Amino acid sequence: MKKNAFIAVSLAAVISLTPAFTTNVFADVNTDIENQDKKISDLENQKSDLESQLATLQSQLDDSQEKAKTLQAEYDQTNKELKQLNDDIEKINERIKEREEVLKDRARAMQKTSNSNAYLDIILNAESITDLVGRVSAVNQLMDSDQQILEDQQNDEKALQEKQASVKQKQADQQKAIQDYEAEQGKIEAQKAQKEAVVTKLAADQAAAENEKSELVAQRDQEAKAAAEKAAQLEEATSTTTAQASTESSSSSSNASSSSSSNSSATTNNSSSSNNSIPASSGSAYDKMMSTATAQLGKPYSLGASGPNAFDCSGFTSYSFAAAGISLPRTAAGQYAASQKISESQAKPGDLVFFNYGSGIAHVGIYVGGGSMINAQDNGVKYDNIHGAGWGEYLVGFGRVANF
């Protein structure tokens, strides 16, 4: 009896100390939870700031799209002017030929009559002073007419040269505007891609922090439940015999072992389910991409166009790779930023090749091997030598976006 009383008193003392111990443990866990809350809040603020910057960049992209429409309209107008110029050239050439024939006829006529002194005959054969004045006037008018023909010939040729020079300059200005637009779009897309990557990482960090917080809350709740159960068991033990206390202790151990076994089984299942295999790529993706690209040969260039009737450079590459299920950024600079940089000796068909006209990545094509690429440029979709005139001096390098 005394022994049981001693046990009861000891257990009561343990019960009285349990709340203080539990409070200290909970205080540590709660501090960790508060730290996670602060971390989550900081990550959310950073993500919010970046999303605001992304919204600004998107607005800039929208403005660039409006600029693209204007540039395309100007480009189309230039093409119309070129067509009209070609028509004018054809008409001027016809007039030039007609005048040449008239002058040739006049020259032949004068050659035939040069030995007979035709001009003197016209004067001597005049029947009167009035007739003489008329004859001289007619000869002078004929000579003036020939002179006017020569002047018209020279004026038309000069006008033709000036028109050709004007249109060529306009073409050069238009080409520069298109290149500047591509570079501007590329820079914005590159900034946007970088910030989107940071937002993605922040979101992942936030998710990890929230998951860690959830684990801490679960730990705290589990410890609180275990402490409550333990206190209840100890309280009950004060009114029972030592044998009953021993039985309850054995039961608790059995439950803990069962819980541990269950947790181990769940861990094994989770490990098994996460061991997923990644399917290997095959050559069919490359075939789909290249067959789509070559099917566009001859289609016209149009700034900002992504097919299927017309393309700009990055619209063409995006359209071709999409056929193989591969999504690319919309601009040449964006595709450059997203690609794995490789040397020309490492390049193989299906890689991308990039060019810089002086203000950033502004052109992209699909490398087909042998120093050639298929690309959408001013003359439409066609093959070009990457080291040829107009290309080699602007070549930046190669990028890989798919392991075909």
Q: Is 387 a catalytic residue?
A: no
Distance CA 212, CA 33 (A): 9
Angle at CA of residue 329, ends 328 and 331, nearest 5°: 120
Total residues belonging to the chain: 404
Q: In this structure, are residues 312 and 303 in contact, taking their beta carbons and an 8 Å threshold?
A: yes
Q: In this structure, are residues 238 and 19 in contact, taking their beta carbons and an 8 Å threshold?
A: no
348 Rama class: left (phi>0) / alpha (psi -120 to 50) / beta: beta
Instruction: Look at the block and give the residue holding tokens 């046990």.
Output: 7
Q: Is 375 a catalytic residue?
A: yes
The DSSP annotation for 122-186 comes to: HHHT-SSHHHHHHHHHHHHHHHHHHHHHHHHHHHHHHHHHHHHHHHHHHHHHHHHHHHHHHHHHH
Helix spans in 295-339 (H): 313-322, 332-338
Distance CA 384, CA 399 (A): 18
Q: Which two tokens stand for residue 186?
A: 């590329």
Distance CA 399, CA 366 (A): 10
- Catalytic hit among 155, 363, 385, 403: 363
Instruction: Look at the block and give the residue holding tokens 């094994």.
Output: 268
Q: Which two tokens stand for residue 40?
A: 């989550």
- Catalytic hit among 79, 313, 387, 403: 313
User: Could you give the C-alpha distances from 146 to 99, 112, 116, in angstroms and in order?
Assistant: 9, 17, 21
Q: Which residues have CB under 8 Å from 385's CB, separation 6+? A: 371, 372, 391
User: How distant is the alpha carbon of residue 179 from its chain centre?
Assistant: 15
- Catalytic hit among 211, 276, 375, 403: 375
Distance CA 382, CA 228 (A): 78
Using DSSP bridges, classify how beta strands 352-356 and 340-342 pair: parallel, antiparallel or unpaired: unpaired
Beta-bridge mates of residue 384: 373
Distance CA 400, CA 342 (A): 7
**Known catalytic residues?**
313, 363, 375
